[in-house]
Amino acid sequence: QKEVEQNSGPLSVPEGAIASLNCTYSDRGSQSFFWYRQYSGKSPELIMSIYSNGDKEDGRFTAQLNKASQYVSLLIRDSQPSDSATYLCAVNESGAQKLVFGQGTRLTINP
Amino acid sequence: EAQVTQNPRYLITVTGKKLTVTCSQNMNHEYMSWYRQDPGLGLRQIYYSMNVEVTDKGDVPEGYKVSRKEKRNFPLILESPSPNQTSLYFCASSFGQGGYEQYFGPGTRLTVT
């Protein structure tokens, strides 16, 4: 079973600051990387996908991928209380028809 | 509206009483999957389907069955539920293969007493 590791948190960030979420993965053959946001008791919601090395920006969110280091991160700029949620990193497992999910990082934005 | 729907959303049942959780998607996705989510264990895949009549086991298939007779529907069947199947269940779908973006249904919270 390939692994995806995240710091479980909780990560506490003041409102307006940058939240930085990190994820490492074990499968060197992985090509697709995703960040999901999950509010308590709700379903995971896809917020970012990234497939090539470098940065990808979408509004206040930036995903960063470094395949050589097997590392993917999510930056949230100008953090808002509504960003408080658990963030799941997901990585495709090479040679298999599946995504492997990390356990998630619980993020709290403090007003 | 493009979506994945699940029913029921909440279910309390007793050990051994067969139940079915339905899942339907209106996005014409080939790939569908069932997950369970438990505290401390994260999301674990139960079964997945690459297309009609094509299903395969995920990481935790014991005690579950699935079928894919139509592209849009992928029901999860618990023939004889046990308390260790108490969990939050999600159905997801994806265009193409399982390694692409997956879109999740709202979830079904199942309690087996």
| pLDDT 10s digits, B42-56 | 899 999 999 999 999
Q: Can you give the pLDDT at residue B100? A: 84
The answer to whether the CB atoms of B106 and A43 lie below 8 A apart is: yes
- Residue pair A9/A107 in contact (Cβ under 8 Å)? The answer is yes
Task: State the pLDDT confidence band at B96, using cuts at 50, 70 and 90.
Answer: confident
- Chain A (18-37) residues lying within 8 Å, Cβ to Cβ, of chain B: 31-32, 34
CB contact under 8 A, B58 and A99: no
CB contact A96 to B (< 8 Å): yes
Residue B1 has pLDDT above 90, yes or no: no
At A24, is the pLDDT very low, low, confident or very high (cuts 50, 70, 90)? very high
With 0-12 / 13-18 / 19 or more C-beta atoms within 10 angstroms meaning exposed / middle / buried, residue A42 is middle
Q: What would the 3-class secondary structure string for chain B be?
A: CCCEEEECCEEEECCCCCEEEEEEECCCCCEEEEEEEECCCEEEEEEEEEECCEEEECCCCCCCEECCCCCCECCEEECCCCHHHCEEEEEEEECCCCCCCCEECCCEEEEEC
pLDDT tops 80 at residue A89: yes
CA distance A95 to chain B (A): 9
Decide if B34 touches A, using CB distance below 8 A. Answer: no
Taking CB atoms and an 8 Å cutoff, what residues of chain B touch A41?
Answer: 88, 107, 109
Residues of chain B neighbouring A90 (CB-CB closer than 8 A): 102
User: Which of B20, B8, B37, B7 has its CA nearest to residue B79?
Assistant: B20
- Tell me which amino acid residue B113 is: T
Q: Would you call B99 and A103 a contact, using CB atoms and an 8 Å cutoff?
A: no
Alpha-carbon Rg for chain B in angstroms: 13
* Distance in angstroms (rounded) separating the CA atoms of residues B106 and B113: 23
Q: Does A13 touch chain B (CB under 8 A)?
A: no
Residue in this structure with the two tokens 């399982």, named with its chain if needed: B98
Which residue among B43, B97, B99 sits closest to A101, beta carbon to beta carbon? B43
What was the pLDDT predicted at B2?
86
